[in-house]
Structures are given as structure tokens and as C-alpha cells.
Amino acid sequence: MKLRHLVTGGAGFVGSHLIDKLMNAGGEVLCLDNYFTGRKENIQKWIGNPRFELIRHDVTEPIRLEVDRIWHLACPASPVHYQYNPIKTAKTSFLGTYNMLGLARRVGCRLLLASTSEVYGDPEIHPQPESYRGSVNTIGIRSCYDEGKRIAETLCFDYNRMHGTEIRVARIFNTYGPRMLENDGRVVSNFIVQALKEMPITIYGDGSQTRSFCYVSDLVSGLMLLMESNEKGPINLGNPNEITIKELSSIIKTHTNKEVRYEYRDLPNDDPLQRQPVITKAKELLDWNPVVGIDEGIKLTITDFEERMKIS
């Protein structure tokens, strides 16, 4: 039987890659997006396909549909976008998740929540296992997203306990790849755009803060394995290969083959100094392990940016 999938935020960076996989697997897909950060060109190739339907809708408003799986990805996920309207961001996480869980309960389907490593805040434990409860500033400029995702997880588990709603919760660590927005403020896209334009690469702090970067195809495979598993989660999905921001800039500088200089600025408030997932659960319970290395992934991402920016 073909499953009918609803992907909220489906025209976004991760959502559109997920839709590609679901469509190529022969499923029926409903893409729901309000185009705040999503782009229609990301899913353009599926428009007109009888197994694909595009719905312009904001998840903060209820919607009635008949589906077998809900992939709840809708939420601005980069600081530039989620801080643009922090109240809207919090509403998206709370009301959007509430509405999607209500739909899942009504039709008796399974829901996967795209949560985030940001629930760990600026961690006091390194690397971060799922058992770590986090160190989050509830009144900081990032809390609209961090706390929003924490309450979204809470809603999922309460719906599961109260109503038996089937849930899957993925804590997604830094993800990159083709279709990232040029102006999303994330470090990979910032560095690539700056390098390609031969602008100064902006380093916040001294560049010694660390991140772990997962290529988008690896993340999508992890999401699909989690959805069809018997595990509720939360489960970390990310690449445990930790590098400093300065090391990332050097990799991008090398693969763009551009002469660039560095510009140092103060570290933003509440910006985590370390971020690295413990993925033991994903390995043991899902048989998942990222396979795309940072060099290969950055090359593919740079090629995509060059094509979209018309830079050779």
C-alpha cells in the first residue's frame, strides 16, 4: 500500500530533500509550506506529478487532511530567520506542533518531529547524549527557537502518553548541503557566499568554537529510518566529526580556491561554544551512520551555490 505523506515545511532546505526521497520511493506526498523560508523552486520538479500536492498553509492554523505519516519540519531554523519574528517562531513551534499532533490523533497516523540540538543550549556536557537535559537561557534572543522546540517535544510525549499518538522525535544537529538559503545566516552558507564573492570571511569570537556538520542526504536517511522504526526517541541525528569554525573556513577557502581574508567580530549572545552529538542510539537502534565526509559535502554544496549564484 502506498503511504500518503504530509511534509510540513516541505519547500524548505531539508523538507525538499526529504520530499525527493519520498517521491522517488513511490509514495504520495502533500507538501505544506507558507514560504517564509521555503522556496517553490525547491520542489518545482514535482509540481504536476499526480502523486504530489502543494498546499500553501501556515501550521499555526489548523488543517484537516487524510494522511498516513506526518513529517513535521515547519519552523525557521537559522538565527537570522527565527529571530526576525521571535513570537511567530515560538507560535510555530507550539501551535504548529499542537495542530499537527491534533491531526495525527484524529486520523490515527504517526508524526515525526524535527527537533534540534539547540534543546541542549550552551552545553555543560560534551559531547551531548539524549539524556542531557540542556543549559538554555529562557529569556535570551535564541530562546524563541530553543524553548519552542523543547515545548514541541513536550507536546509530542504528552500526546503519546494521553492519547497514544505515535510519535518519533529527531534531534537534528547542524545540517548543510544544496538548497541552503544564501542569506540564512548559518555558518556554512555565510562562509561559502563570502568566499565566492571574495568578501572577508566573518569569524565570530576567535573561531575556536566547534560544530559537527551533517550532510543533508545523511540526515534524510536518518529521518526515514527513525520514522519507520519502533523508537519514539528523542534520537540525535548528526555527524559526530567535530571541527572548529576556523577549520571549516579553511576547508571552504580551499575548495572555492579564492583569496579571502578574515574579519573577526564579537561572539553573539548565547552562541554555543561546543556542539557534537552522541549518536550511539542512532547507530544501535536505527543502524544509521553518516557516510558523507565534510570535504565531499562542502564540494557538493559549493557547486550548488556557484550554480545558483552564477559564479564560476
ω into residue 127 within 30 of 0, thus cis? yes
Cell of 2: 502506498
Give residue-wise pLDDT tens across range 160-206.
999 999 999 999 999 999 999 988 888 999 999 999 999 999 998 88
* Residue linked to cell 557538493: 300
- Among candidate residues 82, 98, 120, 145, the one labeled active-site is 145
- Looking at residue 312, its pLDDT comes to 42
Whether 151 contacts 93, CB under 8 Å? yes
Alpha carbons 251 and 228: distance in angstroms, whole number: 35
Q: Which residue's entry shows cell 554544496?
A: 301
Is the model's pTM score more than 0.85? Answer: yes
Residue spans of the chain under pLDDT 50: 312
Q: At what angle do helices 143-163 and 97-107 cross, to 10 degrees?
A: 20
Q: Kindly tell me the sign of the dihedral angle through the C-alpha atoms of 247, 305, 184, 7.
A: negative
- Within 8 A by CB and 6+ apart from 149, the residues are 75, 93, 115, 116, 118, 119
Gap between the Cα atoms of 10 and 73, Å rounded: 7
- CATH code: domain 4-176+215-237 is 3.40.50.720
264 in active site: no
Give pLDDT, residue 270.
66
Query: Residue 75: its pLDDT value, please?
Result: 94
Give the C-alpha distances (Å, rounded to integers) separating 242 from 57, 103, 203.
Answer: 37, 38, 17
Query: CA-CA distances (angstroms) from residue 30 to 25, 66, 217, 226, 277?
Result: 14, 10, 20, 20, 31
Domain ranges of the chain: 4-176+215-237
Quick one: how far is CA 101 from the chain centroid?
19
